[in-house]
Chain A
Amino acid sequence: MGLYAAAAAVLAGAEGRQGSLKGLVYSSSFQNVKQLYALVCETQRYSAVLDAVIANAGLLRAEKKLRPHLAKVLVYELLLGKGFRGGGGRWKALLGRHQARLKAELARLKVHRGVSRNEDLLEERSRPGQAYQVPRFVRVNTLKTCPEDAIDYFKRQGFSYQGRASSLEDLRTLKGQHFLLDPLLSELLVFPAQTDLHDHPLYRAGHLILQDKASCLPAMLLSPPPGSHVIDACAAPGNKTSYIAALLKNQGKIFAFDQDAKRLAAMATLLARAGVSCCELAEKDFLTVSPSDQRYSQVQYILLDPSCSGSGMLSRQLEEHGGGTPSKERLQALAGFQQRALCHALTFPSLQRLVYSTCSLCQEENEDVVQVALQQNSGVFRLAPVLPTWPHRGLSTFPGSEHCLRASPETTLTGGFFIAVFERAEVVPGPAPQDKAVAPEPLSKAPKRKRRRKAAAGASVEPST
């Protein structure tokens, strides 16, 4: 298939929601994947501009046999891309007939908008500036190796290790062959933006996981101790699950659920590569998992990262038509599912700690869902104040929402994210969370627990004396 026909097919598939751009590009039969992906992404970026130019020039009315997506690709290549290469006799003649008109319409559009460069025609949201400035985070898989070995390997490859970062500013100014250790997570390495490591031998061997920092936070905040039982609802593709397994040191059990068989298969491969042995996968809807089932009677930790609109995901921002704000109906449907899942998760009998996270920036999927769950479980569960030094907090829509965490490329140099940590409010002696963070918060909590334990012990001892 020619390049332009393949690109048109991918765009048509993306519009019909048959998959993401990346997935469609890889599944198309065109050889040069990079070229196709670049063409498709750029055409999508300029989509609104191209639509306007094609409509004004009346291209589709004049050429009845030309399909809209193919027209967009060809016009992009002619006007905004590197120039039309002879893709085929048909298209060349066709474009030759309309070249002058299309160029004139583009010039006219620029005059109307008062811009002189093509890039200025884009809306603010479509600028890829943010995605390019977020550093590349790499998590060291502690099931297979340790951070020091990974750092040594990179040093031998020629990267220059700058030590542990002391603040976000160090991450912002990272460039070239330097890399740092993240200030918050001691097994997260930080490389400059656009570092390509997917062919790296350590990654292929499963020693490294390419995971954004915000995506590591839920597992880190859940911090299940080794030997505990954890549920990971909506687990695919499995990066958070593998992190939980690393924290558990493969001792204990993780029950992972997901509805999509293909994604579950991909997750199985990923977990096998990462050396995870304590995970049980099940292709089920989490809402059908019964809390009274014997198997889950010891589950004390749940990680809930439900399907969301993905409006915070960096790759989505590049791909979505005209920027990432989903429609109201879609948001409401997603929020409904998220509320049901969260309330269902809070009904598990032995649950101590639950982390709810989404990669979305929409309040309907984040603070509103948490608020509803808290109202339905008030007195039983409460929001735990976590990471007081984290700069970006939840939107203040209800009292206590400042305990939630948000992440965004501008404030925290990560993808968009939202995290809320629920804790059982009743007094139950349990192990203090093993926070590897520098935050002083666990220290202040521990004495309280000791006092409670002493009080409980005192209370139980008293009757015997």
Chain B
Amino acid sequence: MFLSINFCLIAITKVPRSYFSYIYILHSLNTSLEWHPCTLTWNRHGLLVPNNTTDQELQHIRNSLPDSVQIRRVEERLSALGNVTTCNDYVALVHPDLDRETEEILADVLKVEVFRQTVADQVLVGSYCVFSNQGGLVHPKTSIEDQDELSSLLQVPLVAGTVNRGSEVIAAGMVVNDWCAFCGLDTTSTELSVVESVFKLNEAKPSTIATSMRDSLIDSLT
């Protein structure tokens, strides 16, 4: 499943429909469609699919998604686009060996600034780094200097962490947009709280103690 601000793509599974609202939902038609999040890269402006996407699949996506989302097929040797690139609505990180044309297409279609970068010396940036417009989570072995540099490039706060009980392949264990995140079942509560804080997903402000949280915090004494 992958998630953006304005659309969401899921495989037909046991996930109940009620979890998703106010965004477009696109069910994949049958199991012959081999989309995985690791082969696509997307943000609110567009979606890039690899060169092994069939025309039928492409048509299906085009019909289902709003017109504001541009869709393009990319001829690229590194065809698992989701593993080699990661982006939010403004910046993208890509594999250092990505083709120039792909980089240009990324910049044009997704309207992002593209940086060739490694994360913790891993070239598959799409797998080891996940970021949204609010924050980002990177491979746990990223050094502080790299985190600072990445943070300046991406203009979002970053934290090094894990999901799914210590798994460092972060993109395989979570999806996130500006308002919510979904993590794998094995994710511990510590990891969840880290995700919540760096992606600014909790709506907790100091004033909520006096309003919505009041009842649960204060028992009646009389």
A436 to chain B, nearest CB (A): 60
Asked whether A99 lies within 8 Å of B153 as measured between CB atoms, the reply is no
A427 within 8 A of B: no
Asked whether B149 lies within 8 Å of A62 as measured between CB atoms, the reply is no
Q: Which of the 9-residue segments A79-87, A100-108, A276-284 touches chain B?
A: A100-108
Asked whether A101 lies within 8 Å of B153 as measured between CB atoms, the reply is no
Q: Which of the 9-residue segments B110-118, B204-212, B213-221 touches chain A?
A: B110-118
B156 within 8 A of A: no
With known contacts A107-B113, A107-B115, A108-B115, A100–B149 Cβ distance under 8 A: no
Bound complex: CA A101 to CA B96 (Å): 11
Q: Which residues of B contact A111 (CB under 8 A)?
A: 149, 152-153
Q: Which residues of A contact B149 (CB under 8 A)?
A: 111-112
Q: Which residues of B contact A107 (CB under 8 A)?
A: 113, 115, 153
B214 to chain A, nearest CB (A): 43
Q: Which of B67-109 contact A (CB under 8 A)?
A: 100-101, 103-104, 106-107
- Total contacts A to B, CB within 8 angstroms? 32
Contact with B along A70-103 (1 / 0, CB 8 A): 0000000000000000000000000011111101
B166 to chain A, nearest CB (A): 31
Bound complex: CA A416 to CA B131 (Å): 54
Asked whether B113 lies within 8 Å of A100 as measured between CB atoms, the reply is yes
Bound complex: CA A143 to CA B152 (Å): 64
Bound complex: CA A195 to CA B115 (Å): 45
Asked whether B113 lies within 8 Å of A103 as measured between CB atoms, the reply is yes
B202 to chain A, nearest CB (A): 29
Q: Which of B93-151 contact A (CB under 8 A)?
A: 100-101, 103-104, 106-107, 113-116, 149
Asked whether A96 lies within 8 Å of B104 as measured between CB atoms, the reply is yes
Q: Which residues of A contact B107 (CB under 8 A)?
A: 99-100
With known contacts A111-B149, A111-B152, A104–B113 Cβ distance under 8 A: yes
Q: Which residues of B contact A99 (CB under 8 A)?
A: 104, 107
B113 nearest in chain A by CB position: A104
A316 to chain B, nearest CB (A): 36
B21 to chain A, nearest CB (A): 36
Asked whether A98 lies within 8 Å of B115 as measured between CB atoms, the reply is no
Asked whether B152 lies within 8 Å of A104 as measured between CB atoms, the reply is no
With known contacts A107-B153, A108-B153, A98–B113 Cβ distance under 8 A: no
Bound complex: CA A62 to CA B101 (Å): 12
A263 to chain B, nearest CB (A): 49
Bound complex: CA A103 to CA B152 (Å): 15
Asked whether A101 lies within 8 Å of B152 as measured between CB atoms, the reply is no
Q: Which residues of A contact B115 (CB under 8 A)?
A: 104, 107-108
Asked whether B104 lies within 8 Å of A104 as measured between CB atoms, the reply is no
B148 nearest in chain A by CB position: A111
Q: Which residues of B contact A104 (CB under 8 A)?
A: 113-116
Asked whether B106 lies within 8 Å of A100 as measured between CB atoms, the reply is yes
A101 nearest in chain B by CB position: B103
Q: Which residues of A contact B152 (CB under 8 A)?
A: 111
Q: Which residues of B contact A112 (CB under 8 A)?
A: 149
A114 nearest in chain B by CB position: B152
With known contacts A107-B113, A107-B115, A100–B153 Cβ distance under 8 A: no
B139 to chain A, nearest CB (A): 20
Q: Which residues of A contact B153 (CB under 8 A)?
A: 107-108, 111
Q: Which of A62, A100, A108 interacts with B104 by CB under 8 Å? A: A100
Bound complex: CA A96 to CA B100 (Å): 11
With known contacts A108-B153, A111-B153, A101–B100 Cβ distance under 8 A: yes
Q: Which of A106-152 contact B (CB under 8 A)?
A: 107-108, 111-112
Q: Which residues of A contact B100 (CB under 8 A)?
A: 62, 97-98, 101
Bound complex: CA A127 to CA B101 (Å): 37
Bound complex: CA A453 to CA B153 (Å): 80
Q: Which residues of A contact B116 (CB under 8 A)?
A: 101, 104
B106 nearest in chain A by CB position: A100
Q: Which residues of A contact B104 (CB under 8 A)?
A: 96-97, 99-100
Bound complex: CA A101 to CA B104 (Å): 8
Q: Which residues of B contact A100 (CB under 8 A)?
A: 103-104, 106-107, 113-114
Bound complex: CA A104 to CA B103 (Å): 11
Asked whether B113 lies within 8 Å of A101 as measured between CB atoms, the reply is no
B117 nearest in chain A by CB position: A108
Bound complex: CA A101 to CA B152 (Å): 17
Q: Which residues of B contact A62 (CB under 8 A)?
A: 100
B115 nearest in chain A by CB position: A104
B151 nearest in chain A by CB position: A111
A58 nearest in chain B by CB position: B100
Q: Which residues of B contact A96 (CB under 8 A)?
A: 104
Q: Which residues of B contact A98 (CB under 8 A)?
A: 100
B108 to chain A, nearest CB (A): 8
Bound complex: CA A100 to CA B149 (Å): 19
B37 to chain A, nearest CB (A): 24
Q: Which residues of B contact A108 (CB under 8 A)?
A: 115, 153
Bound complex: CA A107 to CA B154 (Å): 10
Listed in ascending order, the chain A residues whose CB lies under 8 Å from chain B are 62, 96-101, 103-104, 107-108, 111-112
Q: Enumerate 17 A-B pairs (CB-CB under 8 Å) in ascending A order.
A: A96-B104, A98-B100, A99-B104, A100-B103, A100-B104, A100-B113, A101-B100, A101-B103, A101-B116, A103-B113, A104-B114, A104-B115, A107-B113, A108-B115, A111-B149, A111-B153, A112-B149
**Given contact pairs A96-B104, A97-B101, A108-B115, a sample of 5 additional A-B residue pairs in the complex whose CB atoms are under 8 Å apart:** A101-B100, A101-B103, A101-B116, A104-B114, A112-B149
Which 7 A-B pairs give the minimum distances between C-beta atoms? Answer: A100-B107, A111-B152, A104-B115, A100-B114, A100-B103, A100-B104, A104-B114
